[in-house]
Chains A and B, each alone.
Chain A
C-alpha cells in the first residue's frame, strides 16, 4: 500500500480545470441527494398521514419495535459516518493507509448494521408483525395495525437497501484507494461516496425516533 500521492488526474476536456470538474461533480451529487430526499419523503408523508388518522394504533404498534436495536444501529451508523469522514480527510492529506483502514472500518460497521437489522426483521417475522395481508399477530387488535408494519418495513427496507448500495460503492473506492489511485490531487469519488454515506446516516437519524421512540 503506497502512501505516495496519486498520479496526476487529468480533468475531462469540457471542464476548465480539475477544480471545476470537482465542483461540478459535487453539485451533481447534491442534486442526486435532492432526489433521494424526495424518494424518502413519500414514506415520511405516509407515516404522517396514517399517524394522524390512527394515533392510538401507531402508539400501540410502535411498542412492538425494539428500541435497543434501533439505538444500537444509530450508534453504529454515527460511528461509521465518523470513519467515513476520516477516510475522506485521510485521502485529502495523502494518508493512504489510514484512508484504507477507515474505509474498512466503515464497511465493517455497515455489516454490523445489517446484522442487527437481520435479527430485528427475524423477530418481527416470527411474531407475524408484517405488512398488510401478511400481518398475523394476536398482540395488536386494531384493524389498521398492519399499516404500521407496512410503513415500518417500507421505510427501514428502503433505508437498508441504501446501506447495501453504500457498501458497494465504499468497497469500490476502498479498492481504488488501496491501488493508490487517490491522493491530495484527486479524491472526487471518495468524497462523493462520503456524501452518500452521510446521507444514509441522516435518514436514519429521523427514522429512529419516528419509528422506535415516538411511534
Chain B
C-alpha cells in the first residue's frame, strides 16, 4: 500500500500528506500482535534454559516494532521521529551496558556488603569441619548470595562474570585440576586466602567458610577426607568442638582491612 493511494482519498488542506491507517491494515497488525502473544505464552512452557529469555525478548521486539511502525505510524512518518525513538533505545542500551560492565568486573566482595560485616560471634556449629545437613543448607544459602556470579547457579564455573575472568572460575562438579587439592581443609585454605582471580573470603566466619567448603565439595564427586594433621595445618584443633579458636577467627585479610579503613 503506497503513500499516494491514501493521499487521494485524504483531501484536506491542513495536513494533506498525513498517512491514515486503513482499517484492514489495523486489523492485520492487531491480529499479528495477538498471534505473537499466543506464541510467546505457548513457547514459555518449554525449557530452553537461557534461550527462553532471548526468544521472549525477540518476540516482544517483533511485537514492539509492529506497534511502533504501524500503530504509531513511524513507517510513514518523518525520519526525525524514528531517530528520536532509536535514540531513546540507544540511551537505554548505554545505561544497561555500562551498568553490566561494572557488574561483570566487580569483585564478589564488593557486590555483597554483607561480606564486610564482622564475623559472627561464637561458633553455631560443632565440629564444623565435618559435613552435616545443617552446614550444607547454610552453605547453599551463602553460595547463592556470594558465589553464583562467578561460579554459576550449579557451581559449574559458568556465572555471568565468568566470561570476564581468566583463568575461569572453578567448576565444582568436576574432580580435575583443583589448584590446592580437594580435601576440605585445602578448599578451606583456598576460600580463606583466595586464588588467582578469586579474592579472599577470610572475612566470613569460620562456620560460613566451612559451610561453603562442604557445599561446593558436595556438588562434585566424593572428595578425599582430612586427617587430623591436615586440620592442624589450617589452624584447627580437631580435639576441640569449636576447633580451638574460641568461636571464630577474628583476623581479616589485609585487602579487606584496607577497604574497611577507606570507607
Contact = CB atoms under 8 A, between A and B. Distances in A.
Do the two chains belong together in a single complex?
A: yes
B166 interface: no
Interface stretch (A46-54, A116-124, A166-174): A46-54
A38 B30 contact: no
A49 B145 contact: no
Contact of A78 (B23, B34, B77): B34
A48 B96 contact: yes
Nearest to A71: B41
Contacts of A194: 71-72
Contacts of A202: 64, 67-68
20 contacts: A18-B14, A23-B78, A26-B77, A27-B80, A27-B84, A44-B92, A48-B100, A49-B103, A67-B41, A79-B30, A144-B145, A185-B15, A194-B71, A198-B71, A202-B68, A205-B64, A208-B60, A209-B40, A213-B40, A213-B52
Contacts of B89: 37
Nearest to A188: B15
Given A81-B30, A92-B10, A45 B88 contact: no
A84 B141 CA distance: 49
Interface of A: 9, 17-19, 22-23, 26-27, 30-31, 33-34, 37-38, 41-42, 44-45, 48-49, 52-57, 67, 71, 74-75, 78-79, 81-82, 84-86, 88-89, 92-93, 142-144, 184-186, 194-195, 198-199, 201-202, 205-206, 208-210, 213-214
A144 B114 CA distance: 13
A24 B96 CA distance: 31
A85 B37 CA distance: 19
A142 B144 contact: yes
B219 to A, nearest CB: 14
A185 B18 CA distance: 11
B141 A143 contact: yes
A135 to B, nearest CB: 17
B88 A82 contact: no
B10, B15, B68, B92 interface centre (most CB from chain A within 10 Å): B15
A184 B144 contact: no
B260 to A, nearest CB: 23
B16 interface: yes
B84 A31 contact: yes
Nearest to B56: A209
B121 to A, nearest CB: 20
Interface of B is mostly: helix
B77 A45 contact: no
A49 B111 CA distance: 11
Contact of A19 (B15, B29, B85, B99): B15
Contact of A213 (B20, B44, B64, B145): B44
Contacts of B72: 194-195, 198-199
Contact of B13 (A85, A185, A208): A185
Contact of A89 (B22, B60, B96): B22
Contacts of B16: 19
A22 B88 contact: no
A53 B160 CA distance: 8
A37 B56 CA distance: 20
Contacts of A205: 60, 63-64, 67
A9 B145 CA distance: 62
